[in-house]
Each structure stands twice: as C-alpha cells, then as structure tokens.
Chain A
Amino acid sequence: MIHMTAKLSKNVRSNAITYGIVLVFYAVVQILLATGNLSSLMRGLLVPLCMYAILAVSLNLTVGILGELSLGHAGFMCVGAFASAFFSKYMAETGMPAGIRFVAAILIGALMAGIFGILIGIPVLRLKGDYLAIVTLAFGEIIKNVMNVLFIGKDSDGLHFSMNSAVDLHLKEGGTVIVNGPQGITGTPNQSTFTIGIILLLITLFIVLNLIQSRDGRAIMAIRDNRIAAESVGINITKYKLMAFSISAALAGVAGVLYAHNLSTLIAQPKNFGYNMSIMILVYVVLGGIGNIRGSMIAAVILTLLPELLRGLNDYRMLIYAIVLIVMMIVNWNPTCKAFREKYSFRNIKARMKTAKEVR
C-alpha cells in the first residue's frame, strides 16, 4: 500500500513538473512581451509553438504509448483545420458571439478529426509496423489531395458541393464559395492567440497524461508491450487501439484549429499538411523521447525555434538543422554513446561517490 501511494505521488509530481514548465514558459513569454523584448518574428512563432507542441504530444500517444508508427498525423490536423475554418466562416454571418463560435470551432475540429481517426483507424490498425506507417502516410496524402479539389458553397438553398470547380456549384445570386478548391478557405477570423494556444496545450497534456495513468492507458501500453499477452488477459485490443488512435487524431485536429485560425488563408499544401509535416512531428516525438510526453513537447519547441535562431546563418540554417538532427540521433541512440553517457551522467557519478563513501 505504501508502495502504491509512493508511485501515485511520483506520477503527480511528474505531471506537476510538466504543467509547471508550460506555465513558466507562458509567464516568461508574457514578461518578454510586456517589456517589448520579443521580435515580431518571435511573436509570430508563439502560436505555431503551441501548435507543434500539441501535435508532438498527440502523436506521442500513437507512437510512444500505443506503439504504432503513424506518418499521417498532418492529415488529421488538416481535417481539424478545414472543418473548423469552414464552421467559423459559415457561422460568421449568423451573429454568433465570436468567443462561443471559436470554442465551438475547436470542438468541431477535434470531433471531425476524431471521427476521421476512427474511420481510418478501423482498417489501418489491423496492419502492423511499416505497413501501418505507409497506410497512414497514404491516408494523410489522400486527405490533402481531396481538400485541394473540394468546393463548397453556400446560398439561400443551403450548401452545395463539387469536386470540379466553383462554377459547378451553381450558386444562386448572393451565394458565397466557402471552400474554393486549391485556393482553400480565405478570410478565416484570426482568433488564435498565444494564451489560447497555451490553454489548449494544457488541456491536451491533461487528457494525454490522465489517459496514460489510467486503467485504459495501462491497457494500451500492455498492447504495445505484448499484444498477444494483453489479448490473453482479456484486453479488448481493437477498442483500446482505436481509443488511443482517435484521441490522438482529435488532438491533432485541435492543433489544426489553432493553425487555421492563425492565418487568414487556409490552403492544403504539401508544406503544411503533406507527409513532410507528419515526419516533422515524428522527429519531435523521437527526439524528445518515444513515450515521453514532456520530452516531445520540449523537443517541439526547441526544434521550432532552432531554425529561427539560426536565421542569421541564412542559407546554411537548414543544413545545420539537418546535421544537428543526425548528430543528436546518433548521440542519443548509439549504444557506445549511450553507455558513455550512462557512465558519466551526473546521477551515476553521485551514486558512485555515495557507494564509495559507504564502502569506506
């Protein structure tokens, strides 16, 4: 029993540190903002920082906790972004208060991405390993591609859909095109702020950390560690896999909402919703530590800031970024480097000194 409470408090402490880091970061940024010490470039990065952190934390749920490699995370973000931007634009004229509309947009973005997570998860989660990875990549690309040919317009008759062109919508007089194929959605209200981003990040952390430390979370991790063993003790594999996958998707959708409401034009491009983006998020997760929620969040922030901090180096910055990435991976994972780090880590040196003292 004593052991149990000790473990519980360890979790609580670890969670408190994670939330604390976010709050301290928020406070520091607020102070820098108030004293005017933040360049406009950095100010522009604040919302993306929250967005990437949410994406990294949510993908870590799939990759680290569920143990399935997903390369289509940007697809769910795309769904969330388009669903919420569509909602915000559709509701813009109804006179709904902006605050309530934004909250509803966030919920709709999360819900739609979550539904897509379930729809895609049902077939995809039957596959394993690299096959699952490639199918998620394929789904991400399909979502991006379809968004580029989708036209939705609104007039007095209601909504019109087309996969060809805006003219094919046959809108009546006074009708507006909301989703304009390759031109995407323009004029989404810019409602994402750093504060909202931080709140959403905290909610994301709360959901993911609580899930991991719950009975459901332990079931999910049991599946990750040994599927057959988990199945034989009566864990419903499909249910828990889908649960983790769809929650992860829904949270990516939230990041998408943040993204959509940070820009006035939302276009599905390879750059923002293609597999490159999914891979970028995966880089955060792996570099921050697979299954380590706090680590992935920090890695997302550092890796987003790194190219900006290297901006002075102009053309060389992405080159240096690539080299840093490779070197970091090798230092982190190479068995020799690992052994070296463990031997000379602060904690181990302390422990060794302690035992040396005891021996004496």
Chain B
Amino acid sequence: MGTMSFLSYLINGISLGSVYAIIALGYTMVYGIAKMLNFAHGDVIMIGSYVVLTAMTSYGMNPLLAVGIAVIFCTLLGILIEKLAYKPLRNAGSPLAVLITAIGVSYLLQNIALLIFGANMKSFQSVIGTKQIPLLGGDLLVSMTTIVTILSCVIIMLVLTAFIKRTKAGQAMLAVSEDQGAARLMGINVNGTISLTFAIGSGLAAIAGVLLCSAYPSLTPYTGAMPGIKAFVAAVFGGIGSIPGAFIGGILLGVIEILSKAYISTQLSDAIVFAVLIVVLLVKPTGILGKNIQEKV
C-alpha cells in the first residue's frame, strides 16, 4: 500500500504543480516581455474565482459558461491594469517603481474583493465534479478534478508553445522580449504585444483560479496571494522568462510541496519548498532552464 499512497501523493503533487505552472506561465511571460514582476498576478486568480462563483451561484450559469466569462473578465482586467498602472511607468527607468505599483494593484484588488464579497470564506463548488476514478485495478483513486487539472495544464502548454512558435503575434512576443527597441524598428507594435501578453497571462490566471478552487474549495480575498508567490517561485525555479521552465518549475514545486507535506511535516512544507529553491538557485543561479547571460564591461 506504500507505493499506492506514494503514487497518489505524486499525482496530487503533479496536479497542484499544474496549477502553479499555469500561474507561473503568466508571471514568466510578463517578466520576459515587460521585465517586471507582476505581484498582482495572484490576485487576478482570486478575482477570476469570485467571478466563476458569482456566475454559478447567483446567476445559476453552466460551469463552462461561467469559466468562459471569468477568462474574458480577467483578460480585460489584465489589459486594464497594464494600461492604467504599469504603462505609465514603463519608461521610468526603475524596475522597483513598477514593482511597488504592482504591489499597490495587488492591495487594490484584494480590497475591492473584500468590499464586494466580504472577508468570510466562501465555499467554492467544484466546477468539475467530485467523481473519483479508480485506476490500476481500483487500488488508486484519482479525482476527476486532478485529471482535468493535469490535462488542462498540458493542453495550455502545448497551445501556448504552438502560439508562440507558429503565429506572428507569438513571434512578435519573442522579438519584444529579446530587444524592445529593435522590435519597434522592425515595425512590431510593442504596446499591443505587451497588452496581449498581459491578456494571455490574466486569462490563464482565471483558469488557474478555477482549477485551484476546485481542488481546495475555499475562497477568500487573500486566496490568490500564497499560490501567486509560490508560482513566482516556480517561475524563478525553472528560469524566469522561459515557458518550458515555468512548466517544469511548477510541477516540481507542487510535487515537492505535497510530498514534504505527506512525509516530513505539514507546517514545514513551505519552508522545504523555499529551501529547495535556494539550493537550486545557488547551484544554477538563473534557474533550471534559465539563460546564462555573461556580464560585459
């Protein structure tokens, strides 16, 4: 039975890691292009979850439709945040200024949610259902949520990679992240590309929110903060700016977290996650898949 419980922990870890990976994608894409840490990203997740919750409980909508509305809402929210808060500071010459503004946006979103929905925990009704599926001849029970989460992550990764490799907009993203000035000279709409990145990242955040809340069905205005930070860690882990890096980092982080919760200590699991991150960064200072840029004089 030991192997079975290990397998079940592993699958849970991969599932949690998939959520982290989807959130980390948003972080990493925005970082790659705008060179900023979007601290409000975690709160977009929370807003997305509230939208789904409201659409389902107050308006009795079909879960899929609700998720669709949340994705559209968060996409627009992401574009709005970028235009109002981050764009005025893009040429400020101080990455810290944008960082603090992002923190301000994070507080703002949390407090808006607090005003509208209150501080009380809302129980989130799983969008996917609570069915358990027996695997390996019934020894291993895996919930539908877990499977859907892992599948969504894989699909999102594949679609996103294809989008960046195959489409003009995706290539424009790569170009802007490589060199903004040169991209502009080549006739790429830099502002539009940055907006598009925020839109994709925030849309993904909505999906991540739904998946996260389906697995851990409690929602407060602060729900997004910790997964946000963890996903940020995952992005750094895999090498920030790299999309496969975010995927690997997210999965690893989820697995380490669940396994250390199961086998070492519940309270220390976060500490262990962070300790592993530190060790990885000390051995490989730009993350697992990060590019090593030599400093020139």
Q: Which of A308-360 contact B (CB under 8 A)?
A: 315-316, 318-319, 321-323, 325-326, 329-330, 332-337
A264 at interface (Cβ–Cβ under 8 A)? no
Chain A 126-149, CB-CB to B under 8 Å as 1, else 0, gives 111011011101110110011011
A325 / chain B contacts, CB cutoff of 8 Å: 100-101, 103-104, 107
A335, B91: Cα distance in complex, Å? 7
- Tell which of B107, B110, B114, B282 has the most Cβ of chain A within 10 Å: B107
Interface residues of A, dominant DSSP: helix
Interface of B is mostly: helix
Q: Which residues of B contact A326 (CB under 8 A)?
A: 85, 101, 104-105, 108
In whole angstroms, how far apart are the Cα atoms of A333 and B88 in the complex? 8
CB neighbours (8 Å) of A219 from chain B are: none
Which listed residue, A145, A282, A318, touches B111 by the CB 8 Å rule?
Answer: A318
How far apart are B73's CB and chain A's nearest CB, in angstroms?
20
Query: A332 touching B103 by the CB < 8 A rule?
Result: no
Give the chain B neighbours of A45 by CB distance below 8 A.
none
Bound Cα distance from A138 to B97, whole angstroms:
22
Given known pairs A127-B281, A290-B96, the reply for A329 and B236 (CB within 8 Å) is no
Q: Contact residue range for chain A?
A: 35 or more
Whether A145 contacts B100 by the Cβ 8 Å rule is: no
- Chain A residues with Cβ below 8 Å from B105 are 322, 326
Are A322 and B104 in contact, CB atoms less than 8 angstroms apart?
Answer: yes
Kindly identify, within residues 224 to 249 of chain A, every residue whose CB is under 8 Å from any CB belonging to chain B: 227-228
Q: How far is the CA of A262 from the CA of B101 in the complex (A)?
A: 31
Answer whether residue A123 sits at the interface, using C-beta atoms and an 8 A cutoff.
yes
Decide yes or no whether B186 CB sits under 8 A from chain A.
no
Mark A residues whose CB is within 8 Å of B: 63, 69, 123, 126-128, 130-131, 133-135, 137-139, 141-142, 145-146, 148-149, 163, 182, 227-228, 275-276, 279, 282-283, 286-287, 290, 315-316, 318-319, 321-323, 325-326, 329-330, 332-337
The 7 closest A-B pairs by CB, nearest first: A138-B274, A322-B107, A325-B104, A145-B271, A322-B108, A326-B104, A333-B97
